Amino acid sequence: MLTSFRKILAGSWLGRVYRADKILFTLLLLFFILSTVSNLIKLQTTPFFIWSMYSTKLPQTDVYTYYRINYNDGNVINLRHTWNEPEKTLLYAPLNVYLWDMAHGAVDPFRTYLESHWLKKHARFAGLTTGLYVTPAELDQYPAWLVKYLSSVTGAPVNKVCVLKKKVRFGENGVPAEVSSDTVLYIP
């Protein structure tokens, strides 16, 4: 049994690394062992594993919010669920940023953080941060981008867009009931 394990190891990538560079092999072996041990004891070894990243319990709520996107007088965007959802991410992530920024005076919170905290500690990197946040001019371009993107998603020309912020509550029987529906973005 030990002989067959040695043959498998000798023919593997790690076996080739061992023959080529014993120091690199030792470093890789230590990394694998320390990673395994830190995983077993749930030690946070940044930037590799941050155990608390998704461990916060979602707060219990009675009302849930979602956005419904209507286009061309009544058609509804209905993206199919897949495990790889780039269309959905590219649609809703910028929409959330746009709506949040517009509701807060077109001030990007990441820009505020950079200017009030990070750049004070790292002033030499000021020139590298300019493209990391949304500017008011970029916010003005978003509605035209959204129309163009929706046209590519639907495969048809999009003329009008209406984004509704809907709030629903689930009843005792699990059936959702609409609490409110507000128009948060209209592009004629």
pLDDT band of 159, cuts 50, 70, 90:
very high
pLDDT above 90 for 184: yes
CB-CB contact of 75 with 159 (8 Å): no
pLDDT above 90 for 67: yes
Closest CA to 165 of 148, 144, 179: 179
User: Looking at residue 130, what is its pLDDT?
Assistant: 79
Distance of alpha carbon 65 from alpha carbon 169, whole angstroms: 9
Percent of the chain with pLDDT over 70: 91
Q: What beta strand segments (E) does the chain contain?
A: 63-71, 75-76, 161-170, 176-187
- Angle subtended at Cα 133 by Cα 91 and Cα 79, rounded to the nearest 5 degrees: 5
Statement: the pTM of the whole predicted model exceeds 0.85: no
- Phi-psi category of residue 71: left, alpha or beta, with phi > 0 → left and psi -120 to 50 → alpha: beta
CB-CB contact of 179 with 63 (8 Å): yes
Q: What is the dihedral of CA 165, 169, 175, 176, to 10 degrees?
A: -10
Distance of alpha carbon 39 from alpha carbon 141, whole angstroms: 45
pLDDT above 80 for 32: yes
pLDDT band of 81, cuts 50, 70, 90:
confident
Find the helix packing angle between 2-11 and 13-20, rounded to 10°: 70
DSSP string, 14-35: HHHHHHH-HHHHHHHHHHHHHH
CB-CB contact of 133 with 108 (8 Å): yes
User: Looking at residue 1, what is its pLDDT?
Assistant: 59
The token pair at 13 is: 């990538």
